[in-house]
Amino acid sequence: MAYSITLVICFFLLTICECDQGDWTNHGGDITNRRFQEKEHKISPQNAHTLAQKWRFVTGPFVSATPAIYKGVVYVPTWSGLVFAVSMQGSLVWRVNLTQITGLSGVISRTSPALTKELVIIGLLGPAKVVALKRETGKLVWISQELEETPLAKITMSGTAHKDAFYVGISSDQEVNDTICCTFQGSFQKLSLTTGSRIWKTGMLPDNHGQNELYSGAAIWGSSPSIDEKRGLVYIATGNLYTVPASIQACLDANRTGCFPSNATLCDDAVVALDTETGAIRWCNRLGGGDVFSFICRDRENPLPKCPSQPGPDYDFGESPMLVTIRHRNRWRDVVVTGQKSGIVWAHDRSTGELVWETLAGPGSKSGGAIWGAAADNTRIYTNIVNRDGLNFTLIPSSNVTRGGGWVAMDANTGAILWSTANPTGALAYGAVAISNDVLFVGSFEDAGYIYALDARNGRIVWRGMTNSKQGGGFSVADGCAFVGSGYMPPTTGDSIYAFCVA
């Protein structure tokens, strides 16, 4: 198969750093999905004001994935179908065109690469396939089978590589297509790192056998799966239902309770724990309450015949759980913490799924609420609040009110809100947050592309930078620098990776 790779071997060899800079090996940073760089000690609240652009590498449109980092090299895909490896000094290592290297027409990826010693692994935004490249050269190693064959299936989740396997969820564009909607059912899958072959597949809904007007939806689409090695569990969170059987919908339309059968596997709008070896669901906490929604039904004034009379709020999960250990009732307790588009942040026991605490961090909306990726260090939980609907968002402790987006910190042990900070321009607060050494990195969804560093102890903004395009992605942090892309999708205008470093 013909393929095209631009490779700069000599520079690659010169820029491999033997020091321990701290890697960032998937969207969530590592298998805990905490978006926390524990090895970062150069950036601090005291010197973050000295952050300055060290370099800008132009990739072409658009970079919305959190850059992944391994041994001094930064890896990102673009919305134009390219994958780049760039040294931490800002020079090209290699570049791959996904269409040319895979032979698939017009394919792109928006997922943060999962990195291993040997591989760069990404999912495609349709067809629902996973691609593995040789990390040092960009050469194609394998392409998976089509992991979901229903029309418009895709991969938007940034997967997690662990030991000899790759874990990833499947999503779909069916809910935005009124002629195809809806047969898609979300699933979570484990692939071999060696060959890309599927080891297991676990569905989130009762099988509809490809038929319309039954259970559909429950896409798995955001952030990175977290993995608890001790328990042998992998944790994900799922999307809303697109459709349900007519009898269920009639029950919901009548505002009755108990509409869903208790003996069925229904893991929509849910936090889910699965066995890493078998894919069996260990526990599943549904947190949506009958959230039947698709974008073709968002016009409540002129609904399509197939739409429910009362569509749900679309309060699904656009991020996966984080592994956190907290002090609870005078003992240490392992929990998973997950932010929801409703604005609620949940903490559940890792073994049992028991609810430990919940906090309404800010207003919810179809776009969040919390979305794309919260962060956690050893004392606090951090999340964005998009506030797409411009609702009143009361800040703590000031009691000031904003109708824009913002960022919130919570006590990891209790969920109590410690502080909330408004986006100073009043814009939305899309984009995953990232934490390192008491500095929280966040982005603003506006044309100027403002980015901020906050003192994580009190929420005070200590630095502002600019990327010249809406911020829909998130930061990674290593060796005194914060790395971020620019842009999200058309019609945004971002075209670069940036490195902002302390003096």
Q: Give per-residue pLDDT as tens, 72-114.
A: 999 999 999 999 999 999 999 999 999 999 999 999 999 999 9
Q: What average pLDDT does range 464-486 have in this prediction? A: 95
Q: What average pLDDT does range 467-490 have in this prediction? A: 93
pLDDT tens string 449-467: 999 999 999 999 999 999 9
Can you give the pLDDT at residue 491?
Answer: 81
Contacts of 217 (CB under 8 A, 6+ apart): 175, 182, 184, 185, 186, 205, 239, 240, 241, 242, 243, 268, 292, 294
Can you give the pLDDT at residue 457?
Answer: 99
Structure confidence at residue 300 as a pLDDT band (50, 70, 90):
low
Can you give the pLDDT at residue 16?
Answer: 41
CA distance 333 to 328: 6
Structure confidence at residue 498 as a pLDDT band (50, 70, 90):
very high
> Is a pLDDT exceeding 60 seen at residue 9?
no
Task: Show the domain range for 274.
Answer: 5-299+307-501
> Is a pLDDT exceeding 90 seen at residue 302?
no
Gap between the terminal Cα atoms of the chain: 46
Mean pLDDT of the chain: 94
Structure confidence at residue 1 as a pLDDT band (50, 70, 90):
very low
> Is a pLDDT exceeding 60 seen at residue 7?
no
Can you give the pLDDT at residue 467?
Answer: 95
Share of the chain above pLDDT 90, in %: 86
**Whether the bond into 369 is cis, omega within 30 of 0:** yes
Q: What average pLDDT does range 386-395 have in this prediction? A: 98
Distance, CA of 52 to chain centre: 27
> Is a pLDDT exceeding 60 seen at residue 11?
no
> Is a pLDDT exceeding 80 seen at residue 242?
yes
> Is a pLDDT exceeding 70 seen at residue 17?
no
SS3 state at 48: helix
pLDDT tens string 246-274: 999 999 999 999 999 987 789 999 999 99
> Is a pLDDT exceeding 50 seen at residue 205?
yes
Can you give the pLDDT at residue 476?
Answer: 98
DSSP one-letter code for 487 = B
pLDDT tens string 411-435: 999 999 999 999 999 999 999 999 9
b/e 334-370 (16+ beta carbons within 10 angstroms → b) = ebbbbbbbbbbbbbbbbbebeebbebebbbbbbbbbb
Give me Rg for the CA atoms of the chain: 21
> Is a pLDDT exceeding 70 seen at residue 381?
yes
Q: What average pLDDT does range 365-386 have in this prediction? A: 97
Can you give the pLDDT at residue 488?
Answer: 87
Can you give the pLDDT at residue 213?
Answer: 87
Share of the chain above pLDDT 70, in %: 95
Contacts of 221 (CB under 8 A, 6+ apart): 156, 157, 169, 171, 239, 318
Can you give the pLDDT at residue 307?
Answer: 81
Quick one: which of 246, 245, 250 has its CA closest to 266? 245
Q: How buried is residue 305: exposed, middle or buried, by Cβ count under 10 Å (0-12/13-18/19+)?
A: exposed
Can you give the pLDDT at residue 18?
Answer: 40
- Look at the chain and report how many structural domains it folds into: 1
Kindly report the CATH number assigned to the domain that includes residue 35.
2.140.10.10
CA distance 237 to 158: 13
Can you give the pLDDT at residue 274?
Answer: 99
